[in-house]
Structure 1
Amino acid sequence: MSAICGITLAAEGKGEIFVRDAAEDTPPPPRARVVELSRGEQLSIIRKGARHVAVTYEDAMSDGALAAALCAMSGPEDPIAGDPESLAVFALAQRIAASDIPVLINGPTGTGKEVLSRFVHSRSPRADKPFIAVNCAAMPETMLEAMLFGYQKGAFTGANAASEGFIRAADGGSLLLDEISEMPLALQAKLLRALQEQEVVPIGASVPVKVDVRIIAAANRDLSREVAEGRFRQDLYYRLNVFPLGLEALEHRPQDIALLAQAMVMRHSPAIGPVPCIADSAIAMLKDHDWPGNVRELENVIRRALLLADGAPSIGANHIMFDRAPARALFREEPRETARVIPLKTVRHEPAAREEACLSSVKQESEMRAILEALEECGGNRLRTADRLGISERTLRYRLASMREAGVEIERRASGGVQCRR
């Protein structure tokens, strides 16, 4: 990278980035973010103000130096992407943002579905209107309808005052329905009617209320499979799936990792003063990890690293601490494509590091074995499995999702029953 002097970059109508050589004193345009670039012997980032960052880079632009420079040029609300897959998704999202068609985003938990949703909203004509995110899995089923559609005063016990609900609160803007696969079937029918008629009927009311809302739905499971298995309405699926977008797991987006990690360092660093840079040795470790928790896990690792670095100018490999050892390092001799299918009765979930099991790990082991055995006995039927275990189907889904994040994949056999793959 050569020194840049007085170049102003447009930022999708969100302001300007003024990039200049640190030795120059050319005044920037009003309200522009200023990025000063200079060569040096050591990579560094220093915040000089809320909209002023100085980046010193080495002659050879390493992964860490490039990530530092690009993140310095990005605003706090800008998407961070460097992998071709992610760049293609954001480019597509940019194109569909101008329309009002519903969007369905699918991807594993923690991959950034809400970030992509906010990106679509921020690039749309509705950008100055509300964006409301609702996690359908985080609310009790008995309250989800009231929270979405609103209610009249006295409509039910505890309704001491009327509430407009999330759909009406997002009027004119965008509503993200995250984890929509967890919505009960009965409520799916009411949502479908609201989307078709563009109106809602609050609980306890008899007169519908017109609304103008763009719906963005997100799910961590294949909704077409949920439809086939009777857990999601087909008509609602087609109503939401007008334009599908997909996000890959972080381990399949290696070129995003350095950029995301440096952006997280900047997010959790002081507003004024030096910002640690990530050394190439640390980036290599991050890229070698398989990230079962995706971007959320990466943020946890970065926050730990900042604590361990304790004000050091850079984050090194010795500051990187994972929840467990990187799977690629442990199982390098057995590629993912040739993973063995392990019969259910032989599955043993052992810690990667053979340390003495604590009480919590013993409990998790017993719970996992009980779920697998019940699934086998019930032929893979989740409803019967949940009934046998004495838990709700939603709770069973949470447990199965946790098992998937731990690396245990459960698949149905064509002949009935289940099999596990790790």
Structure 2
Amino acid sequence: MRMIGLSEGAADANPTLAGWLRGIGFDAAIVPATDPRERGEIRILDISETAAATHRDLIVEFADGAPFYHPAADGLPARLRFGFADMAFGNALIAELVRPAARPACGEPESAKFLALATKVARSDATVLVLGETGTGKEGVARYIHAISPRADKPFVAVNCAALPETMLEAMLFGHQKGSFTGAGAASEGLFRAADGGTLMLDEVAELPLALQAKLLRALQEREVLPVGATRSVTVDVRIVAAANRDLAAEVAAGRFRADLYWRLNVMPLNLKPLGERRQDIRAIAAALLVRHMPAGEAFAWPTAAALDRLMAHGWPGNVRELENVLQRALLLRDGDRIDAGDLSIEAMAPVMAPAAMPEAPEVRPQRRFADIARALQARAIEEALAATGGHRLRAAERLGISERTLRYRLADMRAAA
């Protein structure tokens, strides 16, 4: 990580800043404002040292009054002013403005240790498995690992395995030959070959069908892929970062994920905690989001201490995505120049509804034909299997002990009967 020079004047004006930056993993050193610079060094200067600043530096005025942030523009450095009442967010905003673009925002010492571990992992070619709830920032971690790895100048390709139709997954991952299936009017190299030399992120890897898991395992073991419709495999050089929002070990125990693929992916596991368990990250991520969504030409909407307290008190079941939604709404609907606690539209999660009890089996009346009874029981078994697998047809078919094609026929019969 590049060094950040904190001037003696800035360190004296805000004695907490140096410790804050070091605590979250920044290489910060206190230096005289006029000292020669190292290549790529960014400096944080006190307003009294403006004459020594370059356009890449950050000018900070630690003073009471309304806080402000002016981004760098027209060759002039960025400027901030805040006092003791706004120091917590002010320090987080400074960290946001000097952090490398690829590094995820963090304000929690534990998160800094997590990123330090990710930095060590990035130096190797080991397969990485990032586990965490939806919206915790798994793709950001994958991009960070790629950006600081020896493969940084090669492609980074991310695919959400849950977002692609099952029928297209194999062709999307491994490529296909022209005419290999209906609609294949041209050949495609596939995502493995698109990421050749770089990193391929397989997000929601737990959603892969079992049949495709076997082919993925072979691709990882042999470092080659067989495009759909081809007769020869193609060698690939790809680093895999897989991610899942479910416990893959539990999926293996339930028979929904191959044990051999799990061990192949679980070389270097990284567990990303929910945002609600990373309280000090909330300020840092809020600063990053407010900078990102700052409307051009408008003043920066600085959150009040009361607003920050409310953000820190919330549990964030939706993680970073929920936080981003709340802040975007506040930017649009706030009454004043700042974001206050009343501007935060934070929804309380409704209690999870217990699943409705399945209706009892209808009483078998003597006048009903045996075929009708069999169809009713079959339909109920299919409905229960689909409900248990979240509507996943392949898994429902496996649960019922039939093929997916047979399940499709049965569903068509049920629709026709209805």
How far 1:92 sits from its partner (Å)?
0.3
Residues 279 and 96 of structure 1: CA distance in aligned 2, closer, same or farther (over 3 Å):
same
Is 1:2 the equivalent of 2:12? Answer: yes
Letter matched to residue 128 of structure 2: V
Candidates 299, 306, 319, aligned match of 1:294: 319
Aligned partners of 2:34, 2:208: CA distance in 1, in Å?
50
The one-letter code matched in structure 2 to 1:33 is R
Q: Secondary structure at the match of 1:187?
A: helix
Q: Which amino acid aligns with 1:321?
A: S
Q: Paired residue for 2:200, among 161, 172, 175?
A: 175
Aligned to 1:259: 284
Task: Name the counterpart of 1:315.
Answer: 339
1:48 paired residue number: 72
- Residue 276 of structure 1 and its aligned partner are, at CA, apart by 1.6
- Residue among 75, 85, 94 paired with 1:69: 94
Paired residue for 2:330, among 305, 308, 319? 305
In structure 1, C-alpha distance between the alignment counterparts of 2:387 and 2:175, rounded to whole Å: 26
Q: Secondary structure at the match of 1:45?
A: strand
CA distance in 2, matches of 1:118, 1:304: 27
Q: Deviations over 1:237-289 (max 9, x none)?
A: 00000010001111111110011111100000035553121211111101111
Q: Does 1:164 align with 2:189?
A: yes
- Partners of 2:36 and 2:331 in 1: how far apart? 31
1:39 is matched with which residue? 62
2:102–2:147 Cα contact (<8 Å) kept: no
Larger Rg: 2
Question: 2:355 — aligned with what?
Answer: 369
Given the alignment of the two structures, is residue 223 of structure 1 paired with residue 248 of structure 2, yes or no? Answer: yes
Q: Of Structure 1 and Structure 2, which has the larger fraction of its residues in strand?
A: 1
1:240 corresponds to: 265
The residue type equivalent to 1:323 in the other structure is E
Tell me how far apart the structure 2 counterparts of residues 295 and 79 of structure 1 sit (CA, whole Å).
12
Instruction: Give the counterpart of 2:232 among 203, 207, 212.
Output: 207
Q: Distance in 2 between matches of 1:80 and 1:376?
A: 52
Residue 166 of structure 1, CA deviation = 0.6
Give the 3 Å change call, closer, same or farther, for CA 22–100 of structure 1 in structure 2: same
Letter paired with 1:66: N
Q: CA RMSD in A?
A: 3.0
C-alpha deviation, 1:82, in angstroms: 1.3
SS in 2 for 1:49: coil
Maintained 8 Å contact 1:46/1:272: no
- The alpha-carbon distance between structure 1 residues 59 and 190, as it changes in their structure 2 partners (threshold 3 A), is same
Q: TM-score, normalised by structure 1?
A: 0.75
List gaps (5 residues or longer) in structure 1.
326-350, 353-363, 378-383, 399-422
Letter in 2 for 1:78: R
Which position in structure 1 is the counterpart of 2:147? 122
Partners of 2:36 and 2:165 in 1: how far apart? 47
For residue 69 of structure 2, give the secondary structure of its aligned residue in structure 1.
Answer: strand
Residue 361 (structure 1) aligns with? none
1:94 alignment partner in structure 2: 119
Residue in 2 aligned with 1:150?
A: 175
Aligned to 1:387: 382
Q: Distance in 1 between matches of 2:128 and 2:381?
A: 32
Native 8 Å contact 1:182 1:394 kept in 2: no
2-structure distance, mates of 1:211, 1:94: 24
- Residue 27 of structure 1 and its aligned partner are, at CA, apart by 5.2
- Output one character per residue of 1:144-169: Cα deviation in whole Å (capped at 9) or x when no partner: 11110010110100001111111100
**Are the structure 2 counterparts of residues 222 and 76 from structure 1 closer, same or farther at C-alpha, using a change threshold of 3 Å?**
same
1:127-154 CA distances to partner (integer Å, 9 max, x unpaired)?
1111111100011111111110010110
In structure 2, distance between residues paired with 1:20 and 1:181 = 48
Q: CA deviation at 1:62?
A: 3.0
SS at match of 1:205: coil
Q: Do structure 1's residue 17 and structure 2's residue 27 form an aligned pair?
A: no
1:175–1:214 Cα contact (<8 Å) kept: yes
Offset at residue 391 of structure 1 (A)? 3.9
Q: Distance in 1 between matches of 2:386 and 2:172?
A: 24
Q: Deviations over 1:329-382 (max 9, x none)?
A: xxxxxxxxxxxxxxxxxxxxxx47xxxxxxxxxxx96xx633xx35999xxxxx
> Retained in 1: the 8 A contact 2:85–2:305?
no
- Cα distance in 2 for partners of 1:141, 1:9 equals 58
Confirm or deny that 1:135 pairs with 2:130: no
Q: How many residues end up aligned between the 2 structures?
A: 347
CA contact (8 A) 2:92 2:107 kept: no
Q: Contact 2:146 / 2:152 at 8 angstroms: preserved in 1?
A: yes
